[in-house]
Each structure stands twice: as C-alpha cells, then as structure tokens.
Amino acid sequence: MYATTYHKPKTLAEAVELFENSDEPSYLSGGHTLIPTLKSRLAAPAHLIDVRNIPELSGIEVTADRVIIGSATKHAVVAASKEIKAAIPALSGLAGSIGDVQVRHMGTIGGSTANNDPAADYPSAVLSLDAIVHTDRREVPAAEYFQGLYTTALEPGEILVRVEFKIPEIAGYAKFRNPASRYSMAAAFVSKHTDGHIRVAITGAGNEGVFRWTEAEELLTANFSAEALEGLTIDPSRMMGDMHAPADYRAHLVAVMTRRAVQNLGGTHIL
C-alpha cells in the first residue's frame, strides 16, 4: 500500500470539506473492497476519509412500508436485525450470505452500494426493491443510480447516507457463488411489489453490472411462478465471461437462479 493520510470526520459537512480540499481523496467505509485494492496498489488515494463516525450514516428504521438502513451499517447487523428479517427476509438473508462472518463484521451496505462491484450482492436488492439512495445532497431512485461497472450516479465527493427499500409483498434471492472467492457468479433478486409490479434484478453476471431482466419480469407479471420462466433464456452477449465462468454458462446460471429465487420467495437459496 502506498502512503496515505487518514481522516476521521465526525460530520457530513466536515467529510465533504475534507474531500473537496484534498488532492486525490477517497472515502473509506468498511474497507473490505477498498483496502485490498490499496494493498495491491490498484488505487493510491493520498487521503482516506473514514465516514463511519458520522452519526447520519448509522441506524436502521423499519416503517409500515419501508426499510431504511444507514450506509455505515455492517452486513452482520443487517443480517441480525429481527425487524428487517420480519419485513424483508430475502434482504436479511442476502446480507447474511455476503463473504464470510469476519467480512460481514466489517463490510457495509453503503460501501457495497457505492462501489457497485458487478459481483456484489446489495445492488440487486437495491434495484429489485425500487430503493431510494439518499446522499448528503439528494435522493436518487435505484433505476437512475446504477450506471455500469463500478459506476453510479454519485458525483465526486457525494456521500451515500442511507438506502430506503420498499417493503415488497414478497421477495426471494438466489445466488450461485464462485467456490473459491465466494463472490456471486450469478444471482437473482425477485420482488413482487404491493401494487403487483415485478422486479427481477441480476447481479454477478452482466457485463454492465447489475441489471433488470425485463423479459423475466413480463412473464412473471402474467404468471408469478417458476413455471412461467421455463424455456426463457438470456443472450450470452450481455454476460461477463472470464476464467471463472464463460458467458454462456453465466447466461444459463441467470435463468436457473431466477427460477430458484421464485421457488424460494420469502427467503434465499444460496449455492
């Protein structure tokens, strides 16, 4: 890791000011993507601004129709929340399936959502549950938030403060993991919202990161069952292909995981 200077602001205003007045700054949350990146010298921010001590970024609130999670909330805390488990069990299970126990004790929902790794879990829930991403300066709907690999609507210096999920009528999450890295090779978050609309969000597979599989949504709108998806395939040219899985294999996994998510509504199916 190259030399860097660490800062621990206590307010949003202080953090933004530090960012704007520093050369080559980066925000730091749980650090479980950023620190490995720094260690391999793929990034070299001169200033690390740790946002975890900012009070607005903490806390979980569950209302009649929303689950609101502060961005510095750790995966283990989301997974252990009885309120979240009661409201959206698939979201609770997703959080409990990220990495391993030690990783979940450090990694945060805000870090995952801001980084938008194409194999990250949370972006699928954010997109499927029509979430609103609250920042220090505005509210961004999920449909506008994700903009490709590692790319989001966040502007330089903008801080993700909390994520507001809509509580669906029912949702399910199915994931096929790489057996070594434990990152998803294909995962589907399927939601049926209270007004009846369906969202199918796919992560781990798409060559532009998380995306909505609208063809699956249309079939599920007509018939909300795994049988409705029989025979539906996705174009492998939309998939990532790498040493872990070629594009046609990922395309196959996307279809299987989407069906499995529908077969496991109200929970998760993690392979």
Partner 1 sequence: MSRITITVNGTPQTRDVEDRTLLVQFIREHLGLTGTHVGCDTTQCGACTIHLDGKAVKSCTVLAVAADGSQVTTIEGLAEGGKLHDVQQAFHEHHGLQCGYCTPGMIMASVDMIRRHDGMLDEHTVRHELEGNICRCTGYHNIVKAVLDAAEKHRAAHAVAAE
Q: Which residues of this chain interact with partner 1, rule CB under 8 A? A: 1-6, 8, 28, 31-32, 35-36, 38-39, 48, 50, 52, 76, 99-103, 105-106, 181-182
Closer to partner 1 by Cβ: residue 32 or 259: 32
Torsion of CA 165, 171, 172, 173, to 10 degrees: -20
Distances (CA, A) of 184 to 70, 91, 102, 158, 176: 24, 15, 18, 28, 6
Min dist. Cβ of residue 101 to partner 1 (A):
5
Min dist. Cβ of residue 148 to partner 1 (A):
25
Closer to partner 1 by Cβ: residue 36 or 59: 36
In the 3-class helix/strand/coil scheme, how is 153-211 assigned residue by residue? CCCCCCCEEEEEEECCCEEEEEEEECCCCCCEEEEEEEEECCCCCEEEEEECCEECECE
Min dist. Cβ of residue 237 to partner 1 (A):
31
Write phi, then psi, for 170 (nearest 5 degrees): -160, 155
Min dist. Cβ of residue 151 to partner 1 (A):
23
Min dist. Cβ of residue 29 to partner 1 (A):
10
Closer to partner 1 by Cβ: residue 80 or 256: 80
Pair 183, 177: CB distance under 8 Å:
yes
Closer to partner 1 by Cβ: residue 177 or 259: 177
Closer to partner 1 by Cβ: residue 119 or 234: 119
